[in-house]
Homo-oligomer: A and B are copies of this chain.
Amino acid sequence: MPASTSATADPHRHDAKPRRRAGRPAAAVLDQDGITAAALQLIGKSGYEGFTMAALARTLNVAPSALYNHVSSKRDVLVLVQDHLTSFVDVSAFDAEPWDRAVRSWAWSYRDVFSKHTPLIPVIAVLPVTDAPKTLAMYEAVSAGFRRAGFPQERIISAIVALESFIFGSAYDVTAPSDIFDSGSMAESTPNFTAAVARLADQGYENQADVAFELGLGALVTGFGALRG
């Protein structure tokens, strides 16, 4: 039976300990960690367009079908990659800094990690935490930070979800073309919008996505900070 990251647990498994019934073949060429690492490297080199099961198998010197002994679908591989990436999100500030600074630090880190992996966002956004242990560990660290800061327990999850939604949406902005708001030939019929875009451009040279992120993050942190007991 192949390994699986699927959400539905195997109902035939009697206990947690994996029972070895008989002999095993020698050093397996493949395992989930190796697949995850190779996938991450491939994505880094070829992007998500070039990330195919065939290409992944090639980098592992293996037939494409061999992957399916360790993973049940391409989506499974994406889940593994997503969870691994989440371990790069920096939650250390929750142990070292006041709540508002910790949230900001975490949020920026989170956005930066996934702005380079926006195709994973539809996956991660609806993924049960059971299937992503490192992601769960991140939530635990953040939840602990909120609790220590005096947050009412029944608001913690909602606040984290709201922040995360803002973070995911903002990750897309980072990859948007810089002329995304150029109204072109329709400028005359959209005077208010066109003027606002022009005024924004007049401002400094700072990244537009960063400015919006800072603005929204500030509002969320201030607003949520008022909930603390």
Contacts and interface: CB of A to CB of B under 8 A. Distances in A.
A200 B226 CA distance: 19
A18 interface: no
A197 B155 contact: no
A1 interface: no
A7 to B, nearest CB: 8
Contacts of A186: 130, 133, 136
Interface in A159-189: 159, 161-170, 172-173, 175-177, 179-186, 189
Contacts of A62: none
A139 B189 CA distance: 12
Interface in A190-222: 190-193, 195-197, 199-200, 202-203, 208-209, 211-213, 215-216, 218-220, 222
A88 to B, nearest CB: 19
Contact of A126 (B162, B170, B176, B222): B176
Which size bracket describes the interface of A in this complex?
Answer: 35 or more
A157 interface: yes
A218 B220 CA distance: 9
A37 interface: no
Interface stretch (A27-35, A75-83, A140-148): A140-148
The secondary structure that dominates the A interface is helix
Contacts of A190: 136-137, 139-140, 143
A2 to B, nearest CB: 20
Interface in A63-93: none
B136 A183 contact: yes
A176 B130 contact: no
Contacts of A129: 180-183
